[in-house]
Amino acid sequence: MRIMLICEFFGNLRMAGLLNSFAYLFNSHIICIIIRMESMTITWYGHSCFKIQTRNPKEELVIYIDPFDKSIGLRPPSGQGDIVLVTHDHYDHNNIKAIKGEPFVIEGPGEYEIKGINIQGISAFHDAEEGKERGLSTIYVIESEEIRICHLGDLGQKELTEEQLDKLDGVDVLMIPVGGIFTISGERASRLVNQLEPKIAIPMHYKIPGLNIKLEGIDNFLKAIKGGKVEPLEKLVIKKKELSQEETRVVVMKPI
């Protein structure tokens, strides 16, 4: 009699492979069928720093965006990374050395393909005066597992250009600054969410406990955003098939 094991491992092929080998060695009548469930995990370190755990057809990959140093009052990110994205060269966004391993580092506009992950960097202004006050910042669009993620960086310009809007079309997950002062305000951020219509909007770059950078809190953004469902989460797990809702989910993440 043959026994069939159906195993779901949500992307952990290493563990699934070990189980398959175990089944083969100890009972040749056991068939282990491995079903890899596609999912992407996003965690937030505070400020503009995110960790994205995703995969290409062969391996799991880790992407860090805007790692900061400890001088901002928060615990810096740490861990192995495959890709690091830096939106601009400020100490609260460019602590590349915090990430272990030998990650591929992207620090500006352009089109990149790293280990099957497509990334586009789009130039934007850090202020409302076309860069005269704070220069440039980079918007990143990441495509993995058929999911489009946009990190707006320290966006400060009054309106997105038509060219920028075209490149951000169809974004599933939008990471957007809402704390004002150095970026767009919470009210402007809410209008941008309504304009881009992402499936998920994640506010970032706002005042939280411990952060010693002068920023506004999240309240103005939450008051201005209308029609969005607000969900506080420590970890966001995303599957493409679940991104079918018409209403934008506003996910207020808890920093790890």
Q: pLDDT tens digit string along 137-163?
A: 999 999 999 999 999 999 999 899 999
Q: How confident is the model at residue 128 (pLDDT cuts 50, 70, 90)?
A: confident
Task: Please list the alpha-helical segments (H only) found in 27-116.
Answer: none
- Judged by DSSP in three states, 124 sits in strand
Q: What pTM value is reported for the model? A: 0.84
DSSP readout, 30-56? EEEEEE----EEEEEEETTEEEEEEE-
Give the model's pLDDT for residue 2: 38
Share of the chain above pLDDT 70, in %: 83
Q: pLDDT tens digit string along 198-255?
A: 999 999 999 999 999 999 999 999 999 875 567 788 899 999 888 987 889 999 999 9
Q: Which CATH number is associated with domain 40-253?
A: 3.60.15.10
Give the model's pLDDT for residue 27: 54
Q: How confident is the model at residue 50 (pLDDT cuts 50, 70, 90)?
A: very high
Mean pLDDT, rounded, for 122-147: 87
Give the model's pLDDT for residue 229: 66
Q: pLDDT tens digit string along 28-47?
A: 454 444 444 468 999 999 99
Residues forming CATH 3.60.15.10 domain(s) in the chain: 40-253
- Reference 126, options 135, 113, 117; nearest CA is 135
Give the model's pLDDT for residue 198: 96
For the chain, give the number of residues.
256
